[in-house]
């Protein structure tokens, strides 16, 4: 009986994670090429998350775009105010790149924005949160806020009001998003742009040789107390390319293991890389030691 109750509670918890995620994804545009997010509320007890928060690594993916500055301008307490986060990197109808960033907060943020100058748009208010810079915020619901430059927050509003289609109508990314398990607290799906299209759109995306070898990919992490169980699935052009990519990744791991200390090498040795058809799958247990080594440049990838 206890086992049955545990299974039911686990499934209910997973459903709640997915519901939180969906609340934010509904504001991401169809023409996204990379979307991702995290559920901070469910990661508070995870040692990997705690370590990254202490070391200021949580927002490292977006350092160049200043997400930390948005957090400071809005006076958000990352431990108390943030419930979940999602972002989208997209190419608009005019060929330009942009990014929508959406926070789900633990309380109503309406009064906190009243100090800023606002501009009406589609029956919503766009708040200029920095008088010197092109940085805005818009309240999509009392506890859901999108930030970005003027065009980016307008995109969030356009998606919210139905003027622009949402991610669920993206024929490439929507099916990948549907594969993310309900209990995942960190996740991403992507269809990398070609280098030419990225350059034309001035879109910021990874230049990593491994990531660039996939047509589409998705990954997710499910936390335990001390680590995060992560899965990566990448689709290539054909089986030959998948075989090459998996071999390349295995080779990279082997080289890296010779460069690091024994405890870390043993952790890397447990990473499983395989391919089936044109799909490459990586299974790994992410620890705080691995994350710390990555940010210190010890892993080399």
Backbone region of residue 162 per phi and psi (left: phi > 0; alpha: psi in -120 to 50; beta: other values): left
- Rounded CA-CA distance 245/209 in Å is 10
- Residue 8 in any domain: the answer is no
Any domain includes 231: yes
Same domain for 68 and 140, yes or no, is yes
Residue 41 — pLDDT band, cuts 50, 70, 90? confident
**SS3 letters for the chain?**
CHHHHHHHHHHHHHHHHHHHHHHHHCCCECCEEEEEEEECHHHCCCHHHHHHHHCCCCCHHHHHHCHHHHHHHCCCCCCCCEEEEEEEEEECCCCCEEEEEEEEECCCCCHHHCCCEEEEECCEEEEECCCCCCCEEEEEECCEEEEECHHHHHHHHHHHCCCCCEHHHCCCHHHHHCCCCCCCCEEEEECCCCHHHHHHHCCCCCCCCCHHHCCEEEEEEEECCCEEEEEEEEECCCHHHHHHHHHHHHHHHHHHHHHCCHHHHHHHHCCEEEEECCEEEEEEEEEHHHHHHHHCCCCCC
Which phi and psi (to 5°) does residue 285 adopt? -105, 110
Same domain, 121 and 260: no
- Give the per-residue pLDDT at 294: 82
In this structure, the answer to whether residues 186 and 231 fall within a common structural domain is: no
Q: What is the pLDDT of residue 92?
A: 82
pLDDT value, residue 15: 41
Question: Which pLDDT value is given to residue 45?
Answer: 77
Closest CA to 37 of 219, 178, 296: 219
Do 164 and 250 belong together in one domain?
no
- Is residue 191 included in any domain, yes or no? yes
pLDDT band at 11 (very low <50, low <70, confident <90, very high): very low
How many other CB atoms are found less than 10 A from the CB of residue 29?
Answer: 23
Averaged pLDDT score across all residues of the chain: 84
Query: Do 90 and 193 belong together in one domain?
Result: yes
Residue 202 exposure: Cα atoms within 13 Å on the Cβ side: 7
Say whether both 163 and 231 belong to one domain. no
Whether residue 52 sits in one domain with residue 104: yes
Q: What are 271-290's pLDDT values in tens digits?
A: 999 999 999 999 999 888 88
Q: Pick the last residue of a domain from 203, 218, 245.
A: 203
What is the extent of the structural domain holding 238?
227-295
Same domain, 287 and 144: no
Q: What is the pLDDT of residue 57?
A: 73
Count of structural domains within the chain: 2
How does pLDDT run across 228-263, given as a tens digit for each residue?
899 999 999 999 999 999 999 999 889 888 888 888
Is the domain of 199 the same as that of 164?
A: yes
Which CATH number does the domain housing residue 239 bear?
A: 3.30.310
**Do 70 and 124 fall within a single domain?**
yes
C-alpha triplet 212, 196, 102: angle, nearest 5°: 70
- Average of pLDDT values for 154-182? 95
- Residue 127 falls within a domain, yes or no? yes
């Amino acid at each position: 009986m206890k086992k049955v109750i545990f299974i039911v509670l686990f499934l209910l918890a997973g459903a709640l994670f997915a519901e939180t995620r969906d609340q934010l994804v509904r504001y991401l545009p169809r023409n996204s090429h990379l979307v991702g997010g995290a559920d901070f509320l469910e990661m508070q007890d995870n040692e990997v998350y705690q370590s990254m928060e202490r070391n200021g690594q949580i927002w490292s993916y977006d350092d160049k775009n200043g997400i930390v500055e948005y957090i400071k301008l809005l006076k958000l307490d990352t431990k108390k105010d943030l419930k979940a986060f999602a972002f989208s990197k997209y190419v608009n109808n005019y060929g330009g790149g942009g990014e929508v960033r959406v926070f789900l907060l633990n309380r109503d943020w309406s009064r906190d924005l009243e100090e800023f100058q606002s501009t009406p748009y589609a029956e919503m208010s766009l708040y200029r949160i920095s008088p010197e810079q092109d940085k805005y915020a818009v309240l999509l619901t009392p506890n859901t806020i999108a930030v970005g430059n003027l065009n980016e927050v307008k995109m969030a509003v356009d998606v919210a009001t139905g003027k622009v289609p949402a991610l669920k109508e993206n024929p490439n990314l929507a099916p990948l998003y549907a594969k993310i398990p309900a209990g995942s607290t960190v996740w991403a799906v992507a269809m990398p742009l070609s280098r030419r299209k990225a350059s034309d759109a001035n879109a910021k995306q990874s230049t990593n040789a491994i990531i660039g070898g996939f047509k589409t990919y998705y990954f997710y992490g499910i936390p335990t107390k001390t680590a995060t169980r992560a899965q990566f699935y990448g689709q290539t052009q054909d089986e030959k390319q998948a075989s090459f990519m998996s071999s390349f990744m295995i080779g990279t791991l082997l080289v890296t293991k010779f460069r690091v200390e024994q405890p870390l090498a043993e952790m890397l040795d447990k990473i499983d890389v395989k391919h089936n058809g044109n799909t490459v799958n990586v299974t790994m247990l992410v620890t705080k030691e691995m994350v710390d080594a990555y940010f210190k440049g010890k892993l080399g990838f």
